[in-house]
Amino acid sequence: MPNPALTEAVYYILLSLQEPLHGYGIIQNVDKLSGGRVRLAAGTLYGALNTLLDKGWIRALENEADSRKKEYRITEAGLDVLKAEVRRLRELLENGMRILGEEER
């Protein structure tokens, strides 16, 4: 069975974690990517990160300098999920454009 749709938060978190980031870095990156539209709240982000860790879609990198400040990065499994989601979103978008496109013009 293909993965069900990702939430907007999870989608942008996975997209952000192509490079290692800590919590606040993720919030800032998502804000930037979405042009300020998606503001991740810290509590929601914390819950999402733990779920993603459990699923093995991201992993925590140990930081020697400050072990309390954890950085995260996407895994191979996470990348597969993300790519599948982009394909799913393309289908949604193409159907929307095709069916509504005429009326929009």
Which residues would be at the binding site for another protein (CB under 8 A)? 7-9, 22-24, 27, 38-47, 68-69
CB 16 to another protein: min, Å: 14
CB 102 to another protein: min, Å: 26
Report the residue number, 24 or 101, with the smaller CB distance to another protein.
24
Report the residue number, 13 or 82, with the smaller CB distance to another protein.
13
- CA 30/CA 36 separation, integer angstroms: 8
Which of these, 84, 102, 94, lies nearest to 6 by C-alpha position? 84
CB 86 to another protein: min, Å: 18
- CA 34/CA 28 separation, integer angstroms: 10
CB 39 to another protein: min, Å: 6
**Length of the chain measured in residues:** 105
Cα dihedral sign for 42, 48, 54, 58?
negative
Report the residue number, 55 or 101, with the smaller CB distance to another protein.
55
Residue type, 65: A
